Amino acid sequence: MFNTIGVIGLGVMGSNIALNMASKGERVAVYNYTRDLTDRLVQKLDGQSVNPYYELQDFVQSLETPRKIFLMVTAGKPVDSVIHSLIPLLEKGDVIMDGGNSHYNETEQRYDQLKEKGIGYLGIGISGGEVGALKGPSIMPGGDQDVYEKAAPILTKIAAQVGDDPCCVYIGPKGSGHFVKMVHNGIEYADMQLIAEAYTFLRDTLRLPLNEIADIFEEWNQGELKSYLIEITAEILRKKDERTDAPLIDVILDKAGQKGTGKWTSMQAIDNGIPSSIITESLFARYLSALKDERVAAEQILSGPETEKKHFDKNLWIDYVRQALYMGKVCAYAQGFAQYKMTSELYGYDLPLKDIALIFRGGCIIRAEFLNIISEAFQEQPDLPNLLIAPYFSEKLKAYQTGLRKVVCEGINAGISFPCLSTALSYYDGYRTGRSNANILQAQRDYFGAHTYERTDMDGFFHTEWS
């Protein structure tokens, strides 16, 4: 019996995707460049239809045609290396799918390279980490639709399900699937940073104990902030260090890593004139955190504000923080979906914004209750310029801006670094300002560089001899 699909790359994600496919009735061929990972997966098997191969040729020949091969290898050159090895073994009509966090530009190059050989190529964003890969990720496939249709029966089966809906939908051409995953990760960075800032205010300004903060996050997760990241943060705050039984969070080093997808999101926005300030500030917050030694030294030199112990109406301020966090998230998602919209027009991706929000409801790291509202907003107005002006959110933020303003002002006066909460507020105020201060910039540019400016009262470009 031929295998119905093959998986190459048997790290945790690849192994779990293979097990997921087998659990949904597929006969799965698996192969890894080194046999150790193959053997490790084989040892875990308990009757699943997962069939190991130790020679790439045997792996390929075991697959029914048109062959469907799912790569879960490290982004970059390893993907090119595997494709190079596969090409001589494949026939026209076969399909290679890249489920790693590849850069969408690289995906587009691989798509073109394989298209010439009649081999289909799908760049597939997979979100949900190890558990998601095993139990159901959010899946963002991009490439030719007819190639997608060959893999759709398997991809929709292994995806997370929300109600009867699989969290998998055809995204668009060429690298669009990896582009959508990239911006998903940018939104993820912003979401994580906003949560970290809310935690800091609760702990350092309201001076709440960790267990009470965990209770607060757990309560928030029952309401409109319901999301995977809020849920796991409550668990993280409760976790005890196995050695000392003290809170584990207090001994985790405050130096954040990143593998690049958030950076790519910011770079693409900057390259294309897209204001992605909150996502970018979340990336810079990680970079600043990495300067740990400098920060420890600077702490002895740089003073903050004189802070007196203030009395706060605890419940009132906890709700201000909830409002602030919700508003920050809405602004971050608004920027992320604006980046989808602007790029879709620029690259001709024709991204299905409503459906992207729908497949983010389950499986992925940013899964959240309010993605239903985001999807409805695009359902009602497909050409919505920005989520901030969707009726539901514009009304909600009219009320919640109080919480965000109070928390940002109080926190900044107390010397807390709020890169994302403060940027979210500035983005909101900037986006709703019809007459901004950019006229000063235009005048300055024309003064020193004769770059000309436009006027509000007549058409054309003007230059003034200022001095």
Examine residue 127 and tell whether it contacts ligand 6PG (CB under 6 A): yes
What burial class does residue 17 get, using C-beta atoms within 10 Å of its C-beta: 0-12 exposed, 13-18 middle, 19+ buried?
Answer: buried
Choose one: 146-154, 217-225, 254-262, 380-388; the region binding ligand 6PG (CB under 6 A): 254-262
Contact 43, 37 (CB under 8 A): no
Q: How far is the CB of 21 from ligand 6PG (least distance, A)?
A: 18
Report the 10 Å Cβ neighbour count for 125. 31
| Dihedral sign from CA coordinates of 222, 227, 228, 231 | negative
Nearer to ligand 6PG, 128 or 403 (CB): 128
Rounded to a whole number of angstroms, the minimum distance from the CB of residue 310 to ligand 6PG is 35
Does 101 bind ligand 6PG (CB under 6 A)? Our answer is: yes
Using the rule CB under 6 A, which residue among 161, 258, 289, 394 binds ligand 6PG?
258
Shortest Cβ contact with ligand 6PG: which residue?
127
Q: How far apart are CA 85 and CA 57, in angstroms?
A: 9
Return the number of other C-beta atoms located less than 10 Å from residue 415's C-beta: 14
Q: Which residue of 76, 129, 173, 275 would you call a contact of ligand 6PG, by CB under 6 A?
A: 129
Closest separation in Å from C-beta 20 to ligand 6PG: 14
Q: How far is the CB of 185 from ligand 6PG (least distance, A)?
A: 5
Interface segment toward ligand 6PG; rule CB under 6 A; list 60-68, 79-87, 123-131, 393-401? 123-131
CA-to-CA separations, 74 to 35, 79, 151, 174, 181, in angstroms, rounded? 17, 7, 22, 19, 15
d(CA 74, CA 9): 8
Among residues 393, 395, 398, which one has the least CA distance to residue 329?
Answer: 393
Q: Which neighbouring-strand residues pair with 467?
A: none
Site string for ligand 6PG, 202-241 (x = CB under 6 A): ----------------------------------------
Does 259 sit near ligand 6PG (CB under 6 A)?
yes
Annotation marks residue 398 as catalytic: no
CB of 129 to ligand 6PG, least distance (A): 4
Q: What is the DSSP string of 161-225?
A: EETTEESB---BSTTHHHHHHHHHHHHHHHHHHHHHHHHHIIIIIS---HHHHHHHHHHHTTTTT
- Asked whether 230 and 365 are in contact (CB, 8 A), the reply is no
Nearer of residues 359 and 390 to ligand 6PG, judged by Cβ: 359
Q: Determine if 332 is a binding residue for ligand 6PG (CB under 6 A).
A: no
Residue 268 within binding range of ligand 6PG, rule CB under 6 A:
no
Task: Round to whole Å and give the CA distance between 398 and 240.
Answer: 40
Chain position carrying tokens 């001589």 = 88
31 or 189, CB closer to ligand 6PG?
189
| Segment interacting with ligand 6PG (CB under 6 A) among 197-205, 207-215, 252-260, 342-350 | 252-260
Of 19 and 63, which has the nearer Cβ to ligand 6PG? Answer: 19
Count of residues in the chain: 467
Q: Which stretch binds ligand 6PG (CB under 6 A): 26-34, 257-265, 302-310, 322-330?
A: 257-265
Q: Does 102 bind ligand 6PG (CB under 6 A)?
A: no
Could you tell me whether strands 5-8 and 68-71 are parallel, antiparallel, or unpaired per DSSP bridges?
parallel
> Can you tell me which residue has the tokens 């920027």?
335
The torsion of the CA quartet 2, 168, 136, 193, rounded to 10 degrees, works out to 140
CB 172 within 8 A of CB 248: no
Task: List the one residue from 52, 142, 175, 262 that touches ligand 6PG (CB under 6 A).
Answer: 262
Q: Which of 106, 188, 197, 281 is catalytic?
A: 188
Question: Which DSSP letter does residue 98 get?
Answer: E
- At 31, phi and psi to the nearest 5? -150, 140
Calpha distance 323→425 (Å, rounded): 12
Measure the CA–CA gap between 459 and 46, rounded to whole angstroms.
74
Q: Residue 167 or 225: which CB sits closer to ligand 6PG?
A: 167
Total interface residues for ligand 6PG by CB under 6 A: 13
The stretch among 25-33, 103-111, 125-133, 244-252 that binds ligand 6PG (CB under 6 A) is: 125-133
Please indicate whether residue 341 is annotated as part of the active site: no
Segment interacting with ligand 6PG, rule: CB under 6 A, options 108-116, 126-134, 328-336, 423-431: 126-134
Stretch that binds ligand 6PG, among 65-73, 246-254, 258-266, 395-403 (CB under 6 A): 258-266
Residues with Cβ < 8 Å from 159, sequence gap 6 or more? 136, 137, 138, 139, 166, 167, 168, 359, 363
261 binds ligand 6PG (CB under 6 A): yes
The residue from 188, 197, 281, 446 that contacts ligand 6PG (CB under 6 A) is 188
Q: Which of 68, 150, 174, 181 is catalytic?
A: 181
Q: Which residue among 17, 95, 283, 364 contacts ligand 6PG (CB under 6 A)? A: 364
Where do contacts with ligand 6PG occur on this chain (CB under 6 A)?
A: 101, 127-129, 185, 188, 257-259, 261-262, 364-365
Q: Which residues are catalytic?
A: 181, 188
